[in-house]
Amino acid sequence: MTTINKEEIQKFSNLAEEWWDVNGKFKPLHMFNPIRIEYILEKIKQHYKINDNAVLKNLNILDIGCGGGLISEPLARLGGTLTGIDASKKNIEVAKVHSKKSGLNIRYLNKSPESFDEKEKFDVILNLEVVEHVEDVELYLNSCRKLLKKDGIMFTATLNRTFTSYLKAIIGAEYILRWLPIGTHDWNKFIKPEELETYLSKIKFKTINISGLEFNPINRKWNRSKNLSVNYIICSKKT
């Protein structure tokens, strides 16, 4: 069984060369990165009771659907031991080249979570903007769970299936602002927070925190919010 949706993978493979162009097709992710990293670091510190500056030292982190390495690289710089996996071979090739240029030791593999060696376990799993692109959400999340250590934490970020998300993430971001190529998202694949929490609960994850992520068009920055109507992120613990 596989969670790979070949059409979805091809979309991102076609854009692989643009991952590190801050003004290219992935500009929205570059803008999104600071708030995602801030949230991830805060929750890791709280969960693992870390007080010093070497936030990620001695932590094994798996970045699933790593793309060109936009999240893996900054976390590696903060001391984490990073493994990035992606079902797109082109994405992995781009990530490898860029991390080498950056002088970072990140292991990148062309794999999906269900094809990864289950004997290897991680302290933290990053599952960011992936679930809306997979073929079978339940199988995907269960495959992620098998790779997480007992009491490890997972970050799952995705889009809510609401009228607001249709207007902002598809009509606004794809058709009007042209931040993303038309067809990047399928609104029907968006997942409501309560649906995602149900999936996670069924496979024995406990929600630690859920936060909305909202774009402010005035200062052109992303902020945390109680508004879950479009982008949101769940930090959950394997029980």
Is 37 exposed, middle or buried (CB count within 10 Å of its CB: 0-12, 13-18, 19+)? middle
Q: Where are the domains of the chain?
A: 6-238
Q: Is the pLDDT of residue 126 over 80?
A: yes
Among 47, 119, 115, smallest CA distance to 86 is for 115
Q: Is the pLDDT of residue 13 over 70?
A: no
pLDDT for residue 56: 92
Domain topology for 6-238 = Rossmann fold (3.40.50)
Q: Is the pLDDT of residue 1 over 70?
A: no
> pLDDT per residue over 228-239, tens digit each?
999 999 999 999
Strand order in the sheet with 60-64: 107-109, 81-85, 60-64, 122-128, 148-159, 231-238, 205-216, 221-225
Please, which pLDDT band fits residue 24 given cuts at 50, 70 and 90?
confident
Q: Is the pLDDT of residue 7 over 80?
A: no
User: Which residues are within 8 A (CB) of 128 and not within 5 positions of it... i.e. 6 or more apart?
Assistant: 36, 63, 65, 71, 155, 156, 157, 233
Q: Return the SS3 of 224.
A: strand
pLDDT for residue 11: 67
Q: Is the pLDDT of residue 10 over 90?
A: no
